[in-house]
Amino acid sequence: MRDEIMERIAGRQATVGVVGLGYVGLPLLVEMARTGLPALGFEVDEAKAARVNRGDSYIADVESGTLRELASDARVSATTDFSRLSECDAIIICVPTPLRKTKEPDISYILSAAGEISKSLRRGQLIVLESTTYPGTTDEVLLPLFEATGLRLDTDFLLAFSPERVDPGNPSFRTDNIPKVVGGCSDDSTEAAAHLYAQIVGRVHKVSSARVAEAAKLLENTFRAVNIGMANEMARLCYALGIDTWEVISAAATKPFGFMAFYPGPGIGGHCIPLDPHYLSWKARQHGFDSRFISLAEEVNSRMPEHVCQLVADGLNDARKSLKGARILLLGVAYKRDIEDVRESPALAIIERLRGKGAEVRYHDPYVGEVRLGEDGHGGGAVDGSHGGGGDKGDEESVLRSVEMTDEELCGADCVVVVTDHTGVDYARVARLSKLIVDTRNALAKESRTGGNAHIVKL
């Protein structure tokens, strides 16, 4: 059966289904179609499916022109009819894996997708999970679910895990040039899944099991979380000592071996780094293992929004102003530069804390038109990429809309906080017109050396 699937893939006869058309799924669907494989996307959101079918991309890393061409040639299509999973020879699951309020893994989206696949599972299908999850999910959860249909691994279907590695907004690394790690629940599964991904990427790294592949993904992002945590702790120490953190890191980075530069920030955000270490530490607890590095890094990183607010308060205090009643302008609310994603963005926690202290908070972000704060102040955010042009709280208490970065806005702010260092912002102008700036990204490094009217406080 493995050979049959691989032959269909090589002959461009295999239909590839992608379940979940978000930041991971849609670019993957497009790459499969570009290689000549018929690509069918599955989405619960009817509006997203309709946009894919008319070639209207809602993901920045997928150009509408490319999607439109593929859709018009019937090489890409999307549907909300999950019974059509039976048409697919390979099915790739790319659904979210959030955390519960208890910081435990929530694999309900994976289970929902797997349930739909089970309803139409047939002989000759390859299923690959890409959603980040704890080691053991593929063979402990999905395999028994699929075999409960009466079909058997290797005899009837193949099952593997290959972690997604997308970096939204990164022009250098896209789906087609990032190496893929593949681990199957059997040798045949590994070989078939590796063959599938070899159609779209230059390098596929095969590992001995799905568990290894699952653990590798968690290690990648836990490595980043722990090292960012160290950089953040160093930043707080340097602030206490009156030392420039960024100069310290720049000096250390001149060492050509044994050091890798990580940089501090206002906190960590996105769909991976804030969440994935919790999947690993949760699995560790199931085996009686205390992952202390992971817990400590999470503690340090989660305190950074509070530290940023303290920097604002200290800066205002030096200017003989109170945080209560102060007008604060945040530059950037996306979790990283030049994208529209606000998932887990530290800006949301900073806004909550500043407003809780009585500050009037406004923000400017060329990519994020509005953010909707939840009851706890951390909510997600409706993101349309356009400016709302409104005031500090929009039409409702829970809504903030982006304001234009006018001269009046900069001059009128008691403090400007650089939370996201979008490249399109004129930071020289910001330094010239602002009174006080808290720079959490070292975006004004040049301006702090060459002058400007603002008093600049670095993280």
- Show the CA angle centred on residue 84, arms to residues 80 and 89, nearest 5°: 125
What value does the mean pLDDT of the chain take? Answer: 92
- Cα–Cα distance measured from residue 267 to residue 286, given in angstroms and rounded to the nearest whole number: 28
pLDDT, tens digit (0-9, with 9 covering 90-100), for 214-224: 999 999 999 99
> Domain of 246: which CATH number?
1.10.1040.10
pLDDT above 70 for 397:
no
Strand order in the sheet with 204-206: 76-79, 39-42, 16-19, 90-93, 125-129, 157-161, 180-184, 204-206
Residue positions annotated with a catalytic role = 272
Find the mean pLDDT for residues 411-422.
97
Calculate the CA dihedral of residues 429, 430, 431, 436 and round it to 10 degrees.
Answer: 160
Q: What percent of the chain has pLDDT over 70?
A: 93
Q: Which residues contact 260 (CB under 8 A, 6 or more apart)?
A: 227
Residues 232 and 164 in one domain: no
If one counts the domains in the chain, the total is 3
Which of 301, 319, 342 is the endpoint of a domain?
A: 301
Residue type, 354: L
- Considering the domain boundaries, does residue 433 fall inside one? yes
> Domain of 350: which CATH number?
3.40.50.720
Per DSSP, what are the bridge partners of residue 417? 330, 438
Find the mean pLDDT for residues 98-108.
91
- Of the listed ranges 91-95, 149-153, 237-241, 394-398, the least confidently predicted one is 394-398
pLDDT on residue 45: 96
Find the mean pLDDT for residues 414-433.
96
- Considering the domain boundaries, does residue 254 fall inside one? yes
- The pTM for the full model equals 0.89
Residues 20 and 111 in one domain: yes
Residues 435 and 355 in one domain: yes
Q: Cβ distance 350 to 417 under 8 Å?
A: yes
Q: What percent of the chain has pLDDT over 90?
A: 83
- Considering the domain boundaries, does residue 213 fall inside one? no
- Considering the domain boundaries, does residue 118 fall inside one? yes
Residues 121 and 222 in one domain: no
Residues 288 and 225 in one domain: yes
304 vs 392, higher pLDDT: 304
Residues 262 and 325 in one domain: no
- Considering the domain boundaries, does residue 318 fall inside one? yes
Residues 67 and 203 in one domain: yes
Residues 292 and 317 in one domain: no
Which of 179, 208, 237 is the endpoint of a domain?
A: 208
Q: Which residues contact 135 (CB under 8 A, 6 or more apart)?
A: 211, 212, 214, 215, 218, 283
pLDDT on residue 42: 98
pLDDT on residue 170: 83
pLDDT on residue 391: 39
pLDDT above 80 for 376:
no
pLDDT on residue 452: 64
Residues 136 and 104 in one domain: yes
Domain assignment of residue 271, given as a range: 218-301
Find the mean pLDDT for residues 258-270.
95
Which of 187, 208, 229 is the endpoint of a domain?
A: 208
Calculate the CA dihedral of residues 277, 282, 283, 284 and round it to 10 degrees.
Answer: 90
pLDDT above 70 for 247:
yes
Calculate the CA dihedral of residues 148, 149, 155, 160 and round it to 10 degrees.
Answer: -70
What confidence tier does 357 reach under pLDDT thresholds 50, 70, 90? Answer: very high
pLDDT on residue 448: 58
Residues 280 and 393 in one domain: no
- Cα–Cα distance measured from residue 242 to residue 449, given in angstroms and rounded to the nearest whole number: 16
Residues 251 and 390 in one domain: no
- Cα–Cα distance measured from residue 422 to residue 331, given in angstroms and rounded to the nearest whole number: 8
Strand residues in 101-247 grouped as ranges (E): 125-129, 157-161, 180-184, 204-206
Find the mean pLDDT for residues 419-433.
95
Find the mean pLDDT for residues 118-124.
97
- Considering the domain boundaries, does residue 103 fall inside one? yes
- Cα–Cα distance measured from residue 447 to residue 354, given in angstroms and rounded to the nearest whole number: 26
pLDDT on residue 396: 45
C-alpha separations of 448 from 141, 191, 309, 429, 436 in Å: 54, 55, 20, 12, 12
- Cα–Cα distance measured from residue 455 to residue 383, given in angstroms and rounded to the nearest whole number: 32
pLDDT, tens digit (0-9, with 9 covering 90-100), for 158-206: 999 999 998 888 888 888 899 999 999 999 999 999 999 999 999 999 9
- Considering the domain boundaries, does residue 187 fall inside one? yes
pLDDT above 80 for 392:
no
What confidence tier does 383 reach under pLDDT thresholds 50, 70, 90? Answer: very low
- Considering the domain boundaries, does residue 330 fall inside one? yes
Residues 36 and 123 in one domain: yes
